[in-house]
C-alpha cells in the first residue's frame, strides 16, 4: 500500500482549480491533468508500506492550530506543473509536527525540502507562464493520512484517517 500525509482541499478550492485547469487546456497546455477528486497538498510522502497503522499511530499526537492557505504562484518541477500555496507560520508548524511525529516513530518518508504546492498537470507541455495564479483561500482544520491505489487503471486517493 502507498501512503502519504496531506491537506485535502476544500470543495471551493477544487472548484477554483478546475476552472484554472479548464483555462490551461484552452491555452493549449497538454499533459496528464490531475483528477479534481485527487487534488491535495502533500506534507510528507511515505510511499510503499505493508500497513498504515504505524503512521496512523504516530500521527495521532500531532498538534497544530487551524491555519489559512492561499494560492501564491504557478511553477514547474521539470514537466510537472503546480500552483504554490502559502500558509505563513501555521503551515510550517503543521509540517514540522507531522515530520517530527514520523521521525520519532522511525517511519521513513521523502525528506526533500518541503515546497508547498498542488500538482495540476504531469508530463506537461505548453506555455504555462501565461496562466494567472488562481485566487482562493481555505482554513485547514485537519490533516489526512491518505492511501494511493490504482483502480480500473486510474489512481485513486482515499483518506485512511484524519487528525
Can you give the CATH number for the domain in which 122 is found?
3.90.1140.10
Q: Where are the beta strands (DSSP E) in the chain?
A: 2-8, 30-33, 40-48, 67-77, 80-86, 117-125, 137-140, 144-151, 154-162
What pTM was estimated for this model as a whole? Answer: 0.93
What pLDDT shows up at residue 108?
A: 96
Q: CA 80 to CA 82: how far, in whole Å?
A: 7
Strand (E) or helix (H) holding 53: helix 53-59
What pLDDT shows up at residue 89?
A: 87
**Tally of domains in the chain:** 1
Which residue range is the domain that position 98 belongs to?
A: 2-162
Q: CA 36 to CA 40: how far, in whole Å?
A: 9
What pLDDT shows up at residue 163?
A: 96
What pLDDT shows up at residue 87?
A: 85
Q: CA 71 to CA 75: how far, in whole Å?
A: 12
What pLDDT shows up at residue 22?
A: 96
Residue pair 69/85 in contact by the 8 Å Cβ criterion: yes
Per-residue pLDDT of the chain (163 residues; tens, 9 = 90+): 999 999 999 999 999 999 999 999 999 999 999 999 999 999 999 999 999 999 999 999 899 999 999 999 999 999 999 999 998 789 999 999 999 999 999 999 999 999 999 999 999 999 999 999 999 999 999 999 999 999 999 999 999 999 9
Amino acid at each position: 500500500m502507498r501512503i502519504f500525509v496531506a491537506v485535502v482541499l476544500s470543495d471551493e478550492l477544487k472548484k477554483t482549480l478546475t476552472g484554472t485547469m479548464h483555462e490551461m487546456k484552452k491555452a493549449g497546455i497538454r499533459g496528464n491533468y490531475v483528477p479534481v477528486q485527487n487534488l491535495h497538498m502533500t506534507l510528507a510522502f511515505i510511499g510503499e508500506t505493508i500497513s498504515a497503522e504505524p503512521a496512523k499511530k504516530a500521527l495521532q499526537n500531532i498538534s497544530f492550530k487551524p491555519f489559512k492557505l492561499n494560492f501564491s504562484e504557478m511553477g514547474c518541477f521539470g514537466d510537472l506543473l503546480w500552483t504554490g500555496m502559502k500558509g505563513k507560520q501555521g503551515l510550517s508548524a503543521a509540517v514540522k509536527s507531522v515530520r517530527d511525529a514520523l521521525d520519532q516513530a522511525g517511519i521513513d518518508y521523502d525528506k526533500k525540502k518541503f515546497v508547498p504546492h498542488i500538482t495540476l498537470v504531469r508530463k506537461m507541455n505548453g506555455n504555462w507562464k501565461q496562466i494567472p495564479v488562481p485566487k482562493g483561500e481555505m482554513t485547514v482544520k485537519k490533516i489526512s493520512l491518505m492511501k494511493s491505489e490504482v483502480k480500473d487503471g486510474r489512481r485513486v486517493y482515499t483518506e485512511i484517517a484524519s487528525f
